[in-house]
Structure 1
């Protein structure tokens, strides 16, 4: 990892809508800064996978909350090789399946589930301030729906990564279908726009809260977006890659 361990851990929080590039950008930024990486969206997907595997009706809010309270989840925080294990099973690929993408909002809008996962996310962030953690005490970059406002409102750098609707649909289509033609964009419309609409009933991630810096990646490629985020981090924290 680059540099020496700073005297205090660095916490970066990146929020934003589906298809804005949060995961790709966050992993690269975390790598450049020598930080751990926490994908909080994957935690909601893992909870959804677990409930479906155990036959829990997702419209039974109490039953879902009870399952998530005992969720055997282990998140790997290496930004170059993040992992997700549930009950000892590697679910990193399974949770990206369309079956999960179309169902995850039912779990993510469950307030009891959100409370439990927020608790786990805060614990994971705090753990990266310890010298025996993955980051060696350097800190963590956490990304997800309510990171900047609910989970880590006191993060050293808080960024809302956004993009136009067309840009977000094209990116998700390319990621899922390998092409961004009209048919592929239509096929991913539900995953991007409907999920955003559902999730926005319980958390705000379209408009930056006070103290949160907006980075619009609509006209930027991946490396340009990474640099824009690194510039924000350097400006607000004084720490450069």
Structure 2
């Protein structure tokens, strides 16, 4: 790696299934390194919200392909994490609704949607110094990322984390969340275009019995090792 043009910065790819803690971990790693955090899941959620508002069904590949051509998604740092905008409107909270959560996997399975967002994501990472999380970052979006982590956790622990994040108006039984997460895993792993798989050179990190701080510390160690090697 040539550190001359990028100040020795590297790109970090964090993949894994729903609820494994990727976003929280990636955001903290980026903060510690002084890097840019890119939440690719939020970008797919933004498309799901745009489709919902436009009355486009998650199964309508043709209309989704048209929608994603003109969708204007921007990510910017905020005091409480990343701000997601759709056409300039702050949709950071809106994209976390259950309605979006239940539709995003099917919408993200369409090739036209993934091709458009992957193009956007790669542009964001060209200058290096990016921490990106998602389902296919290490395998498809940034296959050349210097550090790749595949973050996993048991279905039970991931469901419990989601349960604890729910607002008071969203009372969903824990068993239902476990089923939804298991279904989401199957959907992500079996989709035809760019499925959820571990990159061959990614380190598997099981967060079932680790704290967020422990996971972050481990990834920072990997980054320091890679940065030292690159000098």
- TM-score bucket (shorter structure): 0.7 to 0.9
What CA RMSD, in Å, does the superposition of the two structures yield over aligned residues? 2.2
Q: Are residues 1:175 and 2:158 paired? A: no
Aligned to 2:199: 209
Shift of 1:47: 0.3
Cα distance change of structure 1 residues 54 and 190 upon mapping to structure 2, 3 Å threshold: farther
Distance 2:78 2:13 in 1: 16
Please give the TM-score of this superposition, normalised by the length of structure 1.
Answer: 0.84
Shift of 1:76: 1.4
Please point out which of 188, 193, 196 is paired with 2:182. Answer: 193
Aligned to 2:212: 222
Q: How many residues align?
A: 221
| SS at 1:238 equivalent | helix
Aligned to 1:156: 146
Aligned to 1:132: none
Distance 1:22 1:175 in 2: 15
| SS at 2:148 equivalent | strand
Aligned to 1:139: 129
Distance 1:192 1:79 in 2: 29
1:81-129 alpha-carbon deviations (Å, 9 max, x no partner): 3111101211110000000000111210001111111001101112xx2
Please give the TM-score of this superposition, normalised by the length of structure 2.
Answer: 0.88
Distance 1:91 1:217 in 2: 29
Aligned to 1:83: 83
**8 Å Cα contact 1:30/1:36 also seen in 2:** yes
| SS at 2:130 equivalent | strand
**8 Å Cα contact 1:36/1:79 also seen in 2:** no
**8 Å Cα contact 1:213/1:232 also seen in 2:** no
Shift of 1:80: 5.2
| SS at 1:220 equivalent | coil
**8 Å Cα contact 2:15/2:149 also seen in 1:** yes
**8 Å Cα contact 2:156/2:178 also seen in 1:** no
Q: Are residues 1:22 and 2:22 paired? A: yes
Distance 2:205 2:29 in 1: 14
| SS at 1:172 equivalent | helix
**8 Å Cα contact 1:37/1:79 also seen in 2:** no
Aligned to 1:32: 32
| SS at 2:143 equivalent | coil
Shift of 1:52: 0.9
**8 Å Cα contact 1:17/1:145 also seen in 2:** yes
Distance 1:79 1:157 in 2: 26
Q: Aligned runs of 1:1-16 on 2, under 5 Å?
A: 7-16=7-16
Distance 1:33 1:174 in 2: 28
Distance 2:91 2:164 in 1: 22
